[in-house]
């Protein structure tokens, strides 16, 4: 009986861990709660769902290659806000060394300095994140890109943080929203 209970416990842990999204808290030293007052937003082509604060300005975009949800907290100044862009791209990728090298080269072209990056599992697929810092005009600028392979393409979640006020807190708040993305 004890063996059966142990086996069932291990199986349930494995199932739960396979179905849950990556938890970024440890990697980013996050200690923030998920924002309140969220509403579900479905991308135009019905590929994913993201929960976003109701008071953020949100726009949908699509074409043959991509379906995006773009959102920002426009109640705050740019240097206190979070900009979030979640897109499903209809183009297969492999998150391998050549993909990672291509991302790193693009960052260098844009004069962005890598702060951290890691291969992960996200939304039941191979994933990768990359946090960079640079200048955008007169502002310090942080960009976090998260990629997750899917059956018909890949999910790309990007957050942009301008200025140097509460950068980690804003990144962590964005991550709480990104963690809630679910592919359909």
Domain boundaries defined on the chain: 22-183
Query: 22-183: what CATH class?
Result: alpha beta
Any bridge partners for residue 51, and if so which? Answer: 40
- Checking if the pLDDT of 143 tops 50, the result is yes
Q: Are 112 and 142 in contact (CB under 8 A)?
A: no
- Checking if the pLDDT of 161 tops 80, the result is yes
Could you tell me the pLDDT band of residue 6, with boundaries at 50, 70 and 90?
A: very low
CA atoms within 13 A on the CB side of 36: 0
- Checking if the pLDDT of 12 tops 70, the result is no
**CA distances (Å), 138 to each of 37, 91, 134, 135, 163, in order?**
33, 35, 10, 7, 9
**pTM (2 decimals)?**
0.88
Burial environment of residue 2 by CB neighbours within 10 A (0 to 12, 13 to 18, 19 or more)? exposed
Could you tell me the pLDDT band of residue 21, with boundaries at 50, 70 and 90?
A: confident
Q: What is the pLDDT of residues 40-56, one digit of tens each?
A: 999 999 999 999 999 99
Higher per-residue pLDDT: 5 or 65: 65
Mean pLDDT for the chain?
A: 91
Structure confidence at residue 20 (pLDDT): 54
Q: Which residues of 139-173 are buried (b: 16+ CB within 10 A; e: fewer)?
A: eebbbbbbbbbbeebbbbbbbbbbbeeebeebbbb
Q: Residues 61-66: what's their mean pLDDT?
A: 97
Q: What is the pLDDT of residues 70-124, one digit of tens each?
A: 999 999 999 999 999 999 999 999 999 999 999 999 999 999 999 999 999 999 9
């Amino acid at each position: 009986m004890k063996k059966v209970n142990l086996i069932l416990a291990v199986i349930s842990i494995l199932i739960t861990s396979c179905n849950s999204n990556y938890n970024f808290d440890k990697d980013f030293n996050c200690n923030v709660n998920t924002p309140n007052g969220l509403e579900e937003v479905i991308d135009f082509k019905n590929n994913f769902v993201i929960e976003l604060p109701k008071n953020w300005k949100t726009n949908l975009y699509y074409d043959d290659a991509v379906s995006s949800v773009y959102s920002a907290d426009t109640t705050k100044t740019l240097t206190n806000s979070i900009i979030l862009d979640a897109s499903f791209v209809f183009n297969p990728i492999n998150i391998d060394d050549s993909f990672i090298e291509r991302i790193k080269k693009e960052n260098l072209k844009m004069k962005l300095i890598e702060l951290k990056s890691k291969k992960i599992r996200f939304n039941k697929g191979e994933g990768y994140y990359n946090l960079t810092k640079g200048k955008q005009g007169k502002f310090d600028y942080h960009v976090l890109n998260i990629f997750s392979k899917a059956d018909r393409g890949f999910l790309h979640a990007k957050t942009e943080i301008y200025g140097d006020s509460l950068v980690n807190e804003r990144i962590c708040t964005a991550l709480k929203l990104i963690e809630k993305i679910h592919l359909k």
